[in-house]
Copies of this chain bind each other. A is one copy, B any other.
Amino acid sequence: MSYSYLSHLDCPQCGLTYEPDSVQQLCSCGSPLLVRYKLNEAREQWSRESLNRRKPDLWRYHELLPVRNPAYTVTLGEGMTPLVKLPRLGKDYGIAELYMKDESLVPSGSFKARGAAVGISRAKELGVQKLAMPTNGNAGAAWALYAARAGIEATIVMPKDAPIITRSEVALAGANLYLVNGLISDAGKIVGQAVADMGLYDASTLKEPYRIEGKKTMGIEIAEQLDWEMPDVILYPTGGGVGLIGIYKALQELAEIGWVQGKLPRLVAVQAEGCAPIVRAWEEKKEYSDFWEDSVTSAFGINVPKAIGDFLVLKAVYETEGKAVAVSEAEIVAEQEKVARLEGSFICPEGAAAFAAARKLSLEGWIKQGEKVIVLNTGAGIKYPDTVQVNPPLLEIGERIPSDTTSRSTH
């Protein structure tokens, strides 16, 4: 029994392989590298029953994670988030088996903590002392916080329009924080230059191979939470797309070690109409996406005009007979309210986009009667205070609530 069945890294573009126990960034061909495991050994030696005695966090799957020595694990208890059944919303959509995988319940309030926990742990194991990354906010917050716990120095660059609270998270963690008067793609260029100038570890999306390994645990958890039965459809709000790539990778690995059987779920990449490069590529049946000019959406985490892993996202969608769907800003806002009113969950705008897509695809009949559907809510709505406008009445001390108030119906 190994703690990790880590084997090597390989390139999904040119097929080159790399040994994993020193720092590797992109392949020499420019593609992201993927982590590979000795799945045959895992299949023979590891059993689902071993999980019963383990803590409810993502490290319960350490055999399929890249950290070799548990002493390097940097954890704040992330993972095993709830898979919540949503009967009232499901009725509204016409989806009897509707579930939310609720990624607001992780440190820093977004699913980015998964990638940060595994990415930082592995960076620590490899001896990294300084890293840099561009971010739309939440990833930078998560990486800055885990880096602090690991004693790694982080430099974070984010668009000035990224959620304000993520600045506080980065700064409080003691990281070096810069804003850029542009988009994440502009932040990426600044980080690239800094990496070259100062010899930093480049923790940009998919420029190190381990973040995806953290994200893939969402897929393993969904499988475990459904008792190792596959759902029919998984909807995922897609910016860089690492979560979707990770979920696909997880389910393939689980199939290979024999823990799940049958057809993989159809994976749906959801984007905003104001930034939908993956959707356009999918509609045109292309392998890669084009840079989306003048992108804009309130779902800031998916404002990614060109993702380095676009071809991996599109491959996952094509191979599972999934779909790429864009939703409007109005649909996002409306769906965020709907989920709160019917199910009591204050989801983030990115999650709301995925829910809006589920509604649409059910209406269109693409999601069929009786299918089991999982929607990823990638973070906490409380990180986006400006998405909700509130003007409650102000009472003076001793004043009464007008008695017709409670005749206002809940929706």
Residues of chain A whose beta carbon lies under 8 Å from any beta carbon of chain B: 52-53, 56-57, 74-78, 80-84, 88, 102, 104-109, 130, 132, 145-151, 153, 155, 157, 160, 164-165, 167-169, 171-182, 186, 189-190, 193-194, 197-198, 200, 336-337, 340-346, 380-383, 385, 387-388, 390, 392-401, 403, 405-406, 408-411
Ordered nearest first, which 7 A-B pairs have the shortest CB separation?
A77-B82, A149-B344, A56-B56, A168-B388, A145-B344, A172-B340, A177-B392
Minimum CB distance partner of A407 in chain B: B153
Q: Are B82 and A145 in contact, CB atoms less than 8 angstroms apart?
A: no
Residues of B within 8 A of A383 (CB): 382
Residues of B within 8 A of A177 (CB): 390, 392
Shortest CB–CB separation between residue A71 and chain B, in angstroms? Answer: 12
How long is the Cα–Cα vector from A105 to B113 in the complex, in angstroms? 12
Shortest CB–CB separation between residue A158 and chain B, in angstroms? Answer: 9
Q: Which of A82, A84, A341, A408 has the most CB of B within 10 A?
A: A82
Minimum CB distance partner of A117 in chain B: B344
Please pick, from B173, B385, B394, the residue contacting A346 in the complex, using a CB distance under 8 A.
B173
How long is the Cα–Cα vector from A253 to B342 in the complex, in angstroms? 35
Minimum CB distance partner of A396 in chain B: B181
Q: Are A76 and B345 in contact, CB atoms less than 8 angstroms apart?
A: yes
Shortest CB–CB separation between residue A135 and chain B, in angstroms? Answer: 13
Please pick, from B130, B346, B399, the residue contacting A108 in the complex, using a CB distance under 8 A.
B346
Q: Which of A76, A200, A343 has the most CB of B within 10 A?
A: A76
Residues of B within 8 A of A340 (CB): 145, 148, 169, 172-174
How long is the Cα–Cα vector from A98 to B232 in the complex, in angstroms? 44
How long is the Cα–Cα vector from A83 to B57 in the complex, in angstroms? 11
Q: Are B148 and A410 in contact, CB atoms less than 8 angstroms apart?
A: yes
Minimum CB distance partner of A411 in chain B: B174
How long is the Cα–Cα vector from A108 to B344 in the complex, in angstroms? 9
Q: Are B395 and A190 in contact, CB atoms less than 8 angstroms apart?
A: yes
Residues of B within 8 A of A381 (CB): 168-169, 172
Minimum CB distance partner of A155 in chain B: B406
Shortest CB–CB separation between residue A295 and chain B, in angstroms? Answer: 15
How long is the Cα–Cα vector from A248 to B169 in the complex, in angstroms? 33
Shortest CB–CB separation between residue A102 and chain B, in angstroms? Answer: 6
Residues of B within 8 A of A398 (CB): 186, 189-190
Q: Are B105 and A179 in contact, CB atoms less than 8 angstroms apart?
A: no
Minimum CB distance partner of A195 in chain B: B401
Residues of B within 8 A of A408 (CB): 153, 176
Residues of B within 8 A of A150 (CB): 344
Q: Are B346 and A397 in contact, CB atoms less than 8 angstroms apart?
A: no
Please pick, from B82, B198, B336, B400, the residue contacting A76 in the complex, using a CB distance under 8 A.
B82
Q: Are B344 and A148 in contact, CB atoms less than 8 angstroms apart?
A: yes
Residues of B within 8 A of A102 (CB): 76-77, 107
Residues of B within 8 A of A57 (CB): 82
Shortest CB–CB separation between residue A394 and chain B, in angstroms? Answer: 5
Q: Are A107 and B179 in contact, CB atoms less than 8 angstroms apart?
A: no
Q: Are B80 and A84 in contact, CB atoms less than 8 angstroms apart?
A: no
Name 23 interchain pairs, CB-CB below 8 A, sorted by A. A76-B82, A77-B102, A104-B107, A105-B106, A107-B344, A108-B346, A109-B109, A148-B340, A148-B410, A149-B344, A153-B408, A155-B406, A164-B385, A167-B392, A168-B346, A172-B337, A174-B341, A179-B393, A190-B400, A190-B401, A193-B400, A197-B401, A380-B380
